[in-house]
Chain A
Amino acid sequence: EPEVTQTPSHQVTQMGQEVILRCVPISNHLYFYWYRQILGQKVEFLVSFYNNEISEKSEIFDDQFSVERPDGSNFTLKIRSTKLEDSAMYFCASSEISSGVYEQYFGPGTRLTVT
């Protein structure tokens, strides 16, 4: 069964460093999302992306964050200058739009630890 994949599974970085989290959505999906989950808290929406542009973003998704689809398969989230409070699990999700089924399928997550 097709699935969303994410790399790395765990990333440790120092405060102020840039990180790029990578996602490979399900191949025929065209709508992509990033969510994050601070340890023990609820899952929060960051941004959605369609047709090479941001569709919607939350108040969390400030200028430190950016997303990109650099090629036909990858979808990345970049944090320019990480802060301690960016430590969280980051989930990528994708959704198909052609069949009328709009479930968001989530990847396994990348645990980001900022020290």
Chain B
Amino acid sequence: AQKVTQAQTEISVVEKEDVTLDCVYETRDTTYYLFWYKQPPSGELVFLIRRNSFDEQNEISGRYSWNFQKSTSSFNFTITASQVVDSAVYFCALRGGSTLGRLYFGRGTQLTVWP
């Protein structure tokens, strides 16, 4: 079975603070894919990143960075120097071995960045 847990329901920070969103996953597949999506107040789902299970390199994109650790089944997302525009719900998602299979989403973390 595939499962994604985002234990943090809501996080509030003040602008310029760093914030880490946690994601823990469960899967029996040896090959799998992990994703982060952003859902701003307007409601759409914006793709942020995909990580393959065989690639544990961490990734940085501007103020965003992702830490993938297979040993702890975690795929955490850090925003450095947060901005008000980062306020959104962030979803972690998992796809099992099939490259075109369904996504399993976590419950999301509501991030609010205060000015």
Instruction: Report A's interface with B, CB cutoff 8 A.
Output: 31, 33, 35, 41-45, 48, 50, 55-56, 58, 89, 91, 95, 97, 102-109, 111
Contact = CB atoms under 8 A, between A and B. Distances in A.
Contacts of B101: 48, 56
The binding surface of chain A is classed by DSSP as strand
A109 B105 contact: no
Contacts of B43: 89, 108-109, 111
A50 B98 CA distance: 14
Contact of B103 (A31, A45, A109, A111): A45
Given A31-B100, A56-B102, A89-B43, 5 more contacts: A42-B106, A43-B103, A102-B33, A106-B44, A108-B42
B50 interface: yes
A109 B44 contact: yes
Interface string B70-85: 0000000000000000
